[in-house]
Amino acid sequence: MLILGKTSATESSHFESELMTGSTTAKIELRGLSQVFYGERDVVALESVSLAIAAGRFVSLIGPSGCGKSTIFNILAGLQLPTKGAVFIDGENVTGGIGVVGYMLQKDLLLPWRTVLDNVILGMEIRGMPVREARAQALPYLYKYGLGGFEKQYPATLSGGMRQRAALLRTLLYDCEIILLDEPFGALDAQTRVRMQEWLLQIWSDFGKTIIFVTHDVDEAVYLSDEIYVMSPRPGRVKERFDVDLARPRPRHLVNAPEFAVYRQHCLDLLSHDAPDEVAASAA
């Protein structure tokens, strides 16, 4: 399927070949990550996962449950040391380093006793910014990104979509160039999810961050991404990487276009070899 500009694990993408010739440095590079969880039964979660992502890209990881997507994020965030391999950011080995990426888990994990504004500034406070200054900096963003007027409310009073906005804004204001989002919209209803995707693209283009996004939803991955990594079932490996060459900004009706359908089908084909039940669920 040349039309997709794909690269299998054994081929090199244009960007990867530039990397090898040293003419460019990846923003994020994972080199040969393997992860074994030792226990009564050892679990090989990842096997030789390598990827290279250029600055400012929106990249999705898709693959069946248990293929190690969250494990990759935990390693990138420095929360877990890989059994083998290394993480490079801007060419520097940062394996095991904490605080080099902003990481948002599927559950929004807002602190119930803090107002929306004080939740959003949490990352800034962790970075050492005085509370008053952090509040003053964050407030305009709340207004710009659809949380204006809610700043003094507590998370329990917000809708699921609003809570995810607050959690995403907090992650973005943590002042990291790289953002990891692990199924951030998984728990939202379909309409809210679509609105959140557009909101996220807006925020991504405003902030110019590099985003890695995990999702089970193939349409979501194609609509949002510049490139997609498809993983195989456990032990997780990169099965294929391909660019999504759809012009931006992407109107919503693009999901009905034939060129969109080609990407959707390609993802489904890659996934269906592995996990028919899950693909059926994500295609529904």
Task: Indicate whether 237 belongs to the interface with ligand ADP (CB under 6 A).
Answer: no
- Piece of 64-72, 155-163, 170-178, 200-208 that binds ligand ADP (CB under 6 A): 64-72
Choose from ligand ADP, Mg ion, none: what does 234 bind? Cβ within 5-8 Å by kind.
ligand ADP
Whether 206 and 126 have beta carbons less than 8 Å apart is answered as: no
Comparison of 66 and 78: residue with beta carbon closer to ligand ADP: 66
- Piece of 60-68, 97-105, 129-137, 152-160 that binds ligand ADP (CB under 6 A): 60-68
Comparison of 33 and 176: residue with beta carbon closer to ligand ADP: 33
Dist CA 147 CA 169 (whole Å)? 10
Q: Taking the complex as a whole, how short is the minimal distance between the CB of residue 110 and ligand ADP, in angstroms?
A: 22
Dihedral angle computed from the Cα positions of residues 125, 130, 133 and 137, in that order, rounded to the nearest 10 degrees: -10
Task: Indicate whether 71 belongs to the interface with ligand ADP (CB under 6 A).
Answer: yes
- Report residue 105: phi and psi, to 5°: -80, 170
x-or-dash string of contact with ligand ADP, 28-47, rule CB under 6 A: ---------x-----x-x--
Q: In the block, which residue shows the tokens 């490139």?
A: 227
Whether 137 and 190 have beta carbons less than 8 Å apart is answered as: no
Residues that bind ligand ADP (CB under 6 A): 37, 43, 45, 65-71, 234
**Site residues, Mg ion (CB under 5 A):** 70
